[in-house]
Structure 1
C-alpha cells in the first residue's frame, strides 16, 4: 500500500511539473534529481566546428553573466576519456552522440530536422542533440531557461525535452522610423531577446532612417543608420539565428520624406503620404533605394510595405484612377515594385490591408508575393487569413504589441490579439507570425517595455494551438528577472490595467479643453475613475519596484522604464486633478478674483515643477538605449505642455480669467464650399485676401501664423511669406510643420498689410481653407491684432497679380467662416509657440 501511494505521489509530481522554457516544448518530462553546473563541468562539442563553438560561446557567455562561470570547451574527438560532469552539444551522427542517444533514449524525428532539438539531463550531465546548428542553438536557449539557482550554485532539473516549432517564420517588426531609433548595441540586445525565445525573424520598419548615399538629407538629424551599421546588425543577428528583413515603404507612409522641400515633388500632392505612381522619377529613385538597402541585408526577402496608401488618386493620379480603378492602379504599381525587388535578388513581401480593401488586386498580381496580414483589434476570430488562403497567396499574420496608444503597452489587447490571430493564421496555413509594434507620434513609447509581448508572440508562434497564459506568465517573469517575481507581475498588471491607461492625446491635451473618454482605437473608463485609480495604485507600484531592486539579478535596468511609466502616470493624474480644480475655481461665485488667481497660479506652478522632473527622467531613460536624434521633438511636447500652464498662470495674474485656449481666428472657405460633407459641392482650390491698415509709426515686429486645409501659401504685400502642407498623420515631424509663424516685418510698408492666401484640399470631401492670425508690435509697445474672419474676400479663380497691393478684387465674394472638425490651440505669437491640432 505504501509503495502504491509513493508511486502515485511520484506520478502526480511528474505529471504536474512545469518547464521554465518559453516557448513551452512539445514534450517536457521532469524527473527527480538535478545536475549541478559548476566550474568542474566540461562542455563537449560533437563536431567541434565553428558553428558549435559559437553556440558554446553563447552558453558560456550567459553562465558568466549569471554566475561568473566559464566552462572548459573540448571537441569530442580530442577527448581521451569522458568521465566527470559534462554538457554535450552535437549532431546525432558522432560516436559520442550515438552512445548518449542510445543510453538516454533520445530520438530526433523528421519534423525536428530544421529547428528541433532534444535535451536530456541527469545527475551526470546534460545532452543536447539536433540535426541543425539552429536546433542546437535552440536547445542551448532552452537549457539556459531550465537553469535554477540552488543556493549560490546553478543547477538543472533532471528532465528530458523533445521540441520543434509548428510555424516556420516567427518574429517581430519594430518601428524605428517615427523618432525612437536604437543604438546599434540596443539593436543587438533586441536580436538576443528574439533568439532567447526562438523568434527567427526581425523586421526593422525603416522609412527614412536608412542613410542613402544620394539622399543623405533624408536621414540628417533623424538618427538614420548607415548601410554599414545596418549590415553590422544583420551580421550579428545571423550569429543568433535571426533573419533581418528590412521593411521599407514604397508607396504610402512617405510623409516624413515628402514633407522635405526637395522631395515634395515626388508626392501625390503637396503634403501627401503617398508617392506619385505615375512619375518615372519615383521609380528611378525607388530602384536606387531598394538596391542600396538590399545590399545591406542578407535575407532573401525584402518587405516593400505599401500599406495605408489612401492618398492614391486624390492628386496627380486622379484622372488615371477615374479611367480604371484603384485596384488596377495599385496592382500596376505593385508589379513594378516586384520587378525592382527581384532585380536586386530579393523576394517581395508586402502588407495586405489595401488588398483587403480592394480584393480585385489579388487577381491582378502574381501569387508568389508573401503577404503580411495585419490586424490589431482584440477579437475572437479574424476573417482575413481565409481570404489569402482561398486566393492561394502565402501569408504571415501580424498582430501587435499595443504600445502605440500610451506610455505603457495595453497588454490586455496585446495578448488576445496575438493568441487569436496566430491561431486563425495557423488554421489557414499561415507561414507564421510577425508581431508589430508601432511608435506613433515621435516614438515616445519606450520600446524596452515590449519584451513581454515579444515573448508571448514566441509562445503563440511555436505553439499556436496550445499556448496558455497562466504558466507563461510565471515563466516569463521568473526568467526575465532571474527571480521569483510576483512583485513585477503585479507591476505589469497594474500598469497595463485599463483603469490606469490613457492615450497620448489625453496626456498632452491642453488642460482647458473639454475632456474626452472616447479616444480612438479603444473605449476608456471615465477620466475621473482613471485619475483615482492611478493615484491609488502607482505608489504601490513604485514600492514594489523598490523591493524588486533588491532581488532582481538579471535585466535590472528594466526597472527604470517601469518606474518612469509609474511616475508619468502620477503626473497625468496630477494634471487632471489640477485642471478640474481650476475649472471649479472659475465657476466659484464665493471666491474673489484675487483668491482665484492665487489658487490657479499656484496649481500651475506645481504642475510645471513636477513636469520638469518627469521630463528629465524621460530624457535619461530614453538615452539609455536610443540615439539622441528624435528626442528634441518629444521634449518639445513637455515644453509645450509647460507653456500652456505658464500662460494660464500669467493670464490670471494679469486679471484675465478667460482661459479658453482655442483659436479666435476663423477658418475661411469659399462660400460655395461644403467641406467634409459627402455628396456636396466642394471648392478644391480657393483664394483669399484682406487689407490691414497700419498706424503710421515705427514697427518693431509683424508676426503672422498660417494654417491650411490642407495646403496653403500666404503672401504679404505680394511676396510669399509662409507655406504649410501635410494632413493629419501619425508623424510628430509632420504635425510640427502643420502650423508656421513668420516674421513679416520686412514685407510691411508704412500704411498697409495686404494678406493674400491660396489654399487647396485633396480630400474627397474637402475644400481649400485657410486660417490666419497675426499681430503688429509697434516701437512704442502698442499691439495691433489681425485675424481671418468674415471680412476677408474669396474667389475660386485668380487673375494675375491677385496677391499684390495694387490688385482690385472685382467679383470676389465674402469668405465663409466654417467650423473645423478638431480643436486647434491658439498660438502665442510673442514666444513663437505655434498652434496645435488637438484630437
Structure 2
C-alpha cells in the first residue's frame, strides 16, 4: 500500500487485511459536526456503503488526529472538528493514491507548525470570482492549510474611501463576509493583508488619492504613502475600521514590504524613524481594536536592495508585533533567519510559489526555496506563510498550485523526507490523477526556460513583450531551437493527458506552452542585431506578420482561461500588452521592408 500523500504523514503503520473505502459511510455524528464532510470524498470511488467511519473525541492537540482503519470499521480520534476534517482528507488522499485498494492501517499525525497560511496576491493580476474563491479554500483545506490571506492593495472596496481601487473591481464587504463564512465551513481562518505604506503605485495614479503619496523633490509621485501626511493616518484609521468589521478581531497584516522610495527620499536614518513611527501608530490603533499587527520583516532583513535599516531596529516596534520574513531565492544559507530570531521577535517564515513574472511555476526552485528556508528556521518560527505573487499581472493564478501544494507539505511537516522527484510525482497524482510517467511529460512545461542558458530567472519571459524594433537580447538565443522543439512536443503531450480533477489548473498549462512557444519563435525569427539593408530585412517582415497572427491566438486562449475563474479586473491591462505588441509587430513588418521608413525606425 502506498502511504505517500501530501502533506507527508508523521506516522503510519500498515497491516495485512485489505479493504476499499468506497464501502464505508460517514456516521451521523460526523456529518452533524462537519456538514461538508461528504464533499471531501467527491473524487473518490463510489460503491455500496456498508461499514461506518466513526469519530471518537480524544484529548489530543488541536489539530492532531489518529485513524484506526480496519476492514469493517474506521475510527477517527480527534479533539476538534478541524482535526476530524484533516483525518477525512487523509482517508481521501490514501484512497486516491491506491485506487481505493487499501490495507488496514493506523495513522498518528499532527502539524509541526501551528500557523499554515497562503498569501494570495489578488492585486496585480486576477481577482477570483466568488465561486473560485470557494474552490481555492477547499483545495487549501485538502492540503491542510489553516489560514487564507488575500493580499489586497486595492481590491477591498472601502465605503469610506470610494476612490480606493476605482479601476480594479474591488470586492465588496458583503462579498468578503460571504467568502469568510464559506471558509469557516471548511475550518479555514481568513486574515487580510492590506498594505498600509508601500506598493501604492496603482493607487497613487488616482486623482483623489495622489495627495497621500510621498513626493520626490521634483514633484514625482513615489510608490509609498507619505508617513508625514496627517491625511494618511486619517485614511488608515477608516480603513482599519472597515477591515476589522469584515475580518473580525485578530491578526491584521499591514504590509510594510519594499518601501524603497521612503529611504530614497528621506535617507536611511530618517526613513527608518518614519517607518517605525508609522507602524507603531498602526500597531497601537490595532491594539485599541483588539487586534495584533503582523508585517513584513524586509525593512530590517532585506533579501535584496539597499532600502533597509539594521535588523536590531525591529525591536523598536511595539512588543507583540509579528514579523513575516520572506526570501524567495534558493540559497545555501539564510542568515537573516537567525538574525531576526536573535532579536526575540514573533516570527513567521515565508517562501514563494515561484509563478511571478513567469509562464509557469518553477517547481524545482519552489521546492528548494521552501525546504531550505524551513530548514534554516529549524522550527523556531510560529508558522509559515506561502507567498503566491502576481508581479507582472499576466500569469494565471491557477499555475501556482504546484508551489502551493509544496508549501502545504512542508508547513505541516518541515522535516519531510520527500525528495523533489517525490513531491513532483505526488502533486500530479493527487491534483490530476496522473501516473509518474504522465507527470514526467510535464517537467519541461514547468522548466522550459532552464532548458538553455539564461542571465536570470525572468529573462525568457521578459522577452515576450519586448518591442520588436529592439534586437533580441536573450543570452542563449543560438540554442533557442531546444525550447521550440520541447514546446512542440509538450503541446502533443498535453493533448494526450486527461486529468480526472482540477481541469482549470491543467488548462492553464496549455497557456504556458502557447506563450513559451510564441516567445521562443520570436527569439528565433526576429533579428538579433540591427538590420543594415532592406534585403536583409525582408525575411523578418514575414516573420513578424506570422508572429502577430500567432499572438492573437495566444491572447484569445489567455482571455478564455482568465475569465473561466476570474473577474474582469486587470484584464484590460493584460490585453493592452498583447495589443501593443501586435501593433509593434505589424509596424515592424512594414518598416523593415520599406525604404522610406527604414532609416526612420530601424
Q: TM-score, normalised by structure 2?
A: 0.91
Distance 1:325 1:652 in 2: 53
Q: Is the 8 A contact 1:172 1:434 kept in 2?
A: yes
Following superposition, the deviation at residue 376 of structure 1 comes to 1.2
Q: Which of residues 502, 506, 518 is equivalent to 1:559?
A: 506
Residue 812 (structure 1) aligns with: none
Q: Is the 8 A contact 1:459 1:467 kept in 2?
A: no
Distance 1:276 1:28 in 2: 55
Residue 91 (structure 1) aligns with: 57
Cα gap change, 1:386 to 1:631, in 2 (>3 Å)? same
Cα gap change, 1:597 to 1:482, in 2 (>3 Å)? closer
Residue 255 (structure 1) aligns with: 201
Cα gap change, 1:91 to 1:275, in 2 (>3 Å)? same
Q: Does 1:649 align with 2:589?
A: yes
Following superposition, the deviation at residue 558 of structure 1 comes to 2.6
Q: Deviations over 1:627-682 (max 9, x none)?
A: 012101111111111111111122245324637869xxxxxxxxxxxxxxxxxxxx
Residue 822 (structure 1) aligns with: none
Q: Which of residues 400, 406, 411 is equivalent to 1:456?
A: 406
Residue 239 (structure 1) aligns with: 185
Distance 2:275 2:504 in 1: 46
Following superposition, the deviation at residue 489 of structure 1 comes to 3.4
Following superposition, the deviation at residue 179 of structure 1 comes to 2.8
Q: Deviations over 1:572-599 (max 9, x none)?
A: 1111122038x59x457xxxx4x55653
Of Structure 1 and Structure 2, which has the larger fraction of its residues in strand?
1
Distance 2:270 2:129 in 1: 44
Distance 2:389 2:30 in 1: 42
Cα gap change, 1:661 to 1:397, in 2 (>3 Å)? farther
Q: Is the 8 A contact 1:87 1:126 kept in 2?
A: yes
Q: Which of residues 493, 505, 511 is equivalent to 2:468?
A: 511
Q: Is the 8 A contact 1:571 1:610 kept in 2?
A: yes
Q: Deviations over 1:792-833 (max 9, x none)?
A: xxxxxxxxxxxxxxxxxxxxxxxxxxxxxxxxxxxxxxxxxx
Q: Is the 8 A contact 2:113 2:412 kept in 1?
A: yes
Residue 123 (structure 2) aligns with: 177
Following superposition, the deviation at residue 238 of structure 1 comes to 1.7
Q: Is the 8 A contact 1:477 1:484 kept in 2?
A: yes
Q: Does 1:146 align with 2:91?
A: no
Q: Does 1:21 align with 2:5?
A: yes
Q: Does 1:479 align with 2:463?
A: no
Distance 1:409 1:223 in 2: 26
Residue 39 (structure 2) aligns with: 61
Q: Does 1:605 align with 2:545?
A: yes
Q: Is the 8 A contact 1:267 1:274 kept in 2?
A: yes
Q: Which of residues 83, 99, 113 is equivalent to 2:61?
A: 113
Residue 317 (structure 2) aligns with: 365
Residue 33 (structure 1) aligns with: 17
Which structure would you say has the larger RCO, counting Cα contacts within 8 Å and 6 or more residues apart?
Answer: 2
Alignment of 1:419-498 (within 5 A): 419-427=371-379, 429-441=380-392, 443-469=393-419, 470-497=421-448, 498=450
Q: Is the 8 A contact 2:76 2:84 kept in 1?
A: yes
Following superposition, the deviation at residue 70 of structure 1 comes to 9.2
Q: Is the 8 A contact 2:157 2:173 kept in 1?
A: yes
Distance 1:226 1:494 in 2: 37
Distance 1:472 1:661 in 2: 50
Residue 300 (structure 2) aligns with: 355
Q: Is the 8 A contact 2:5 2:97 kept in 1?
A: no
Task: Classify the secondary structure of the residue corresponding to 2:378.
Answer: helix
Q: Is the 8 A contact 1:477 1:489 kept in 2?
A: no
Larger Rg: 1
Distance 2:460 2:193 in 1: 27
Cα gap change, 1:284 to 1:70, in 2 (>3 Å)? farther
Q: Is the 8 A contact 2:445 2:513 kept in 1?
A: no
Flag structure 2 segments of 5+ consecutive residues without an equivalent. Answer: 302-307
Q: Is the 8 A contact 2:115 2:382 kept in 1?
A: yes
Following superposition, the deviation at residue 298 of structure 1 comes to 3.5
Following superposition, the deviation at residue 174 of structure 1 comes to 0.9
Q: Which of residues 568, 586, 589 is equivalent to 1:628?
A: 568
Q: Does 1:312 align with 2:266?
A: no
Q: Which of residues 571, 577, 588 is equivalent to 2:524?
A: 577
Task: Classify the secondary structure of the residue corresponding to 1:452.
Answer: helix
Residue 338 (structure 1) aligns with: 283
Q: Is the 8 A contact 2:193 2:253 kept in 1?
A: yes
Distance 2:30 2:39 in 1: 18
Distance 2:25 2:461 in 1: 53
Task: Classify the secondary structure of the residue corresponding to 1:180.
Answer: coil
Distance 2:460 2:24 in 1: 52
Q: TM-score, normalised by structure 1?
A: 0.66
Distance 1:545 1:247 in 2: 36
Cα gap change, 1:200 to 1:532, in 2 (>3 Å)? same
Following superposition, the deviation at residue 306 of structure 1 comes to 1.0
Q: Is the 8 A contact 1:328 1:364 kept in 2?
A: no
Following superposition, the deviation at residue 35 of structure 1 comes to 1.9
Task: Classify the secondary structure of the residue corresponding to 1:218.
Answer: coil
Q: Does 1:286 align with 2:229?
A: no
Task: Classify the secondary structure of the residue corresponding to 1:434.
Answer: strand
Equivalent pairs counted in the alignment come to 584
Q: Is the 8 A contact 2:537 2:593 kept in 1?
A: yes
Alignment of 1:729-744 (within 5 A): none
Flag structure 1 segments of 5+ consecutive residues without an equivalent. Answer: 1-16, 72-83, 93-107, 518-524, 663-839
Distance 1:503 1:134 in 2: 43
Residue 227 (structure 2) aligns with: 277
Cα gap change, 1:282 to 1:645, in 2 (>3 Å)? same
Distance 2:312 2:25 in 1: 61
Distance 1:165 1:380 in 2: 26
Cα gap change, 1:661 to 1:630, in 2 (>3 Å)? farther
Structure 1 residue runs of 4 or more that deviate by more than 6 Å after TM superposition:
none
Distance 1:150 1:452 in 2: 21
Distance 1:597 1:387 in 2: 57
Q: Deviations over 1:311-359 (max 9, x none)?
A: 22555xx4xx69x633322211111010122223211100000022312
Cα gap change, 1:26 to 1:528, in 2 (>3 Å)? same
Following superposition, the deviation at residue 516 of structure 1 comes to 3.5
Following superposition, the deviation at residue 21 of structure 1 comes to 2.1
Distance 1:363 1:115 in 2: 32
Q: Deviations over 1:510-550 (max 9, x none)?
A: 12324334xxxxxxx62332x2221121122122211212x
Cα gap change, 1:281 to 1:221, in 2 (>3 Å)? closer
Q: 487-496 or 208-217, which moves further after superposition?
A: 487-496
Task: Classify the secondary structure of the residue corresponding to 1:147.
Answer: helix
Following superposition, the deviation at residue 360 of structure 1 comes to 4.3
Distance 1:489 1:238 in 2: 37
Query: Aligned-pair RMSD on alpha carbons?
Result: 2.4
Following superposition, the deviation at residue 226 of structure 1 comes to 0.5
Q: Which of residues 538, 543, 547 is equivalent to 2:487?
A: 538
Task: Classify the secondary structure of the residue corresponding to 2:255.
Answer: coil
Distance 1:70 1:203 in 2: 40
Distance 2:85 2:193 in 1: 27
Cα gap change, 1:362 to 1:568, in 2 (>3 Å)? closer
Of Structure 1 and Structure 2, which has the larger fraction of its residues in helix?
2
